Amino acid sequence: MFEYQPSANFLDSKIILVSGASSGLGRAAALCYAQHGATLILLGRNEAKLNIVYDEIEAAGGKQPAVMVLDLLKADDNSYQEVATTIAEEFGRLDGVLHSAGTMSPVLPLEHVTLESWDQQLRVNLTASYALTRHCLPLLRRAAAASVIFTSSTAGRELREYWGPYAIAKHGIENLMQLFHAELHSTSNIRVNTLNPGPCATALRRVAFPSEDPAMRPQPAALMAPYLYLMGDDSRADNGRQFSSQ
């Protein structure tokens, strides 16, 4: 298990965008970042669930977050540009982006994967991370030290049969991170890394393992140490690396 214990308000000056903030690991990370002083921009497709996270942050004494509704399956270039433009107008910069939005389909042999499922997996799990990062680069460049965290998976670091388009997308995430690192590390203050949370009790995992007892896996809130480390200034020297929560 990754060990890290930051000071109480070490994210006090940070403005952080979290995709997939309405549930699972994204929700846990948003609450954790807010608890440590950050201003959160909560992005997801379900406004009602995002508003619940918004209320939780405010009830816990966190800084007032912002809610941005975006369906990554339907988003186009204009949609992502609107997100970046709104953030620029409201906040002026971004200190961090956590790509935590994701989707999953039942684990199947490739010969049984439909083209619709293939497209959905790659669009949400890979393309969205590229597009959101690309449009947010000018905002990230305005920060003193910006961090982008791409959510990876064991299926994206090892060859695992039957994980189909999800595995392809997560292998793509690893390569996407390395490409951004190669292009940005010597020309900007932006660091990029991947983080594999490992098996945990989320709705996404239940799609892949419907018969598994969720009590056998850690809750997302128990895996936040590397999420905190990579978003704060203690990780400024870490760039282009693979991290794991467990």
Q: Which residues are catalytic?
A: 166
**Between the CA of residue 76 and those of 48, 162, 202, what are the distances in Å?**
23, 29, 27
- How far apart CA 98 and CA 18 sit, in angstroms, is 5
Q: Which residues sit opposite 191 in a β-bridge?
A: 147
Q: What's the order of all strands across the beta sheet hosting 242-244?
A: 66-69, 39-44, 15-19, 96-99, 146-151, 190-196, 242-244
Q: Which amino acid is at 158?
A: E
- How far apart CA 11 and CA 33 sit, in angstroms, is 7
- How far apart CA 154 and CA 41 sit, in angstroms, is 28
Angle between helices 164-184 and 128-141 (to 10 degrees): 20
Phi-psi domain of 4 (left: phi exceeds 0; alpha: psi -120 through 50; beta: other): beta
**Radius of gyration, CA atoms only, the chain:** 17
